[in-house]
């Protein structure tokens, strides 16, 4: 017989599922690595050309809903990371480095797959040790609790409907 999951654990799992959407990882890291995305026509699709328009729209909507990005009215820079978004980009970097050092999920995996593997991986193992990425994510969620209470259940369903990012 299995124990029912607590509400807080369910919220955390939903948040992790949302925060590991490929389009969201790509959007946040693109802006973190290369700065704000400009208002020039096509610059957003150009920067994230591996995402379909549906995936891109979903990533932007999710990032806005979670307070990770903001758009400046008529400024030259269209999308910028908020403080929360910058902090999440650090969590993604931590996760990718951790997974790369362990060749997870495989030796040739890309950034997004490494982040997903590290953050979705259950903690534990023989020592029941919390991994560095999960600890970083836990700290981020404590600092930004709104994500745990946001209605993110629709995120994974919408992502599936609009197609998955590579």
pLDDT in tens, 8-41: 888 999 999 999 999 999 999 999 999 998 867 6
**What pLDDT score does 148 carry?**
86
Residue 30 lies in a domain: yes
Instruction: Examine residue 7 and state whether it is found in any structural domain, yes or no.
Output: yes
Q: Does this model's pTM top 0.75?
A: yes
Note whether residue 157 is domain-resident. no
Label residue 153 by pLDDT band (50, 70, 90): very low
Work out the pLDDT band at 4, boundaries 50, 70, 90: low
The answer to the question of residue 115 being in a domain is yes
The pLDDT, as a whole number, for residue 64 is 93
92 found inside a domain: yes
pLDDT of residue 40: 73
Looking at the domain assignment, is residue 164 inside a domain?
no
Q: Please spell the DSSP secondary structure of the chain, one letter per residue.
A: -PPPPPHHHHHHHHHHHHHT-HHHHHHHHHHHHH-PEESSTTHHHHHTTTS-HHHHHHHHHHHHHTTSEEE-SSSSEEEEE-HHHHHHHHHHHHHHHHHHHTT-S-TT--HHHHHHHHHHSPSBTTTTBPPHHHHHHHHHHHH-THHHHS--HHHHHHHHHH----
Residue for token digits 């758009």?
71
156: confidence class by pLDDT, cuts 50, 70, 90: very low
Residue 150 pLDDT > 90:
no
- Domains in the chain: how many in total? 1
Structural domain of 141: 2-152
pLDDT higher than threshold 90 for residue 161: no
pLDDT(2) > 60: no
Q: In this predicted structure, what is the pLDDT of residue 76?
A: 67
83 inside domain: yes
CATH number reported for the structural domain that contains residue 50 in this entry = 1.10.10
> CA-to-CA distance for 84 and 69, rounded, in angstroms?
8
Structure tokens at 83: 């403080």
Give 73 or 98, the one with higher predicted confidence: 98
pLDDT digits (tens, 9 = 90+) for 96-124: 999 999 999 999 999 999 999 999 987 65
Does residue 165 lie in a domain region?
no
């Amino acid at each position: 017989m299995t124990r029912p999951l607590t509400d807080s654990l369910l919220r955390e799992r939903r948040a992790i599922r949302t925060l590991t959407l490929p389009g969201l990882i790509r959007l946040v890291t693109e802006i973190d690595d290369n700065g704000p995305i400009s208002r020039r026509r096509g610059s957003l699709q150009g920067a994230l050309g591996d995402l379909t328009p549906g995936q891109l729209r979903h990533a932007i909507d999710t990032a806005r809903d979670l307070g990770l990005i903001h758009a400046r009215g008529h400024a030259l820079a269209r999308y910028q990371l908020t403080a929360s978004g910058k902090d999440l980009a650090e969590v993604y970097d931590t996760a990718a480095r951790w997974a790369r050092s362990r060749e997870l999920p495989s030796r040739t995996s890309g950034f997004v797959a490494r982040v997903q593997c590290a953050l979705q991986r259950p903690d534990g193992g023989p020592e029941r040790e919390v991994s560095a990425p999960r600890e970083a994510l836990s700290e981020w969620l404590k600092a930004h609790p709104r994500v745990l209470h946001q209605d993110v259940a629709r995120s994974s369903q919408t992502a599936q409907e609009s197609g998955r990012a590579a």
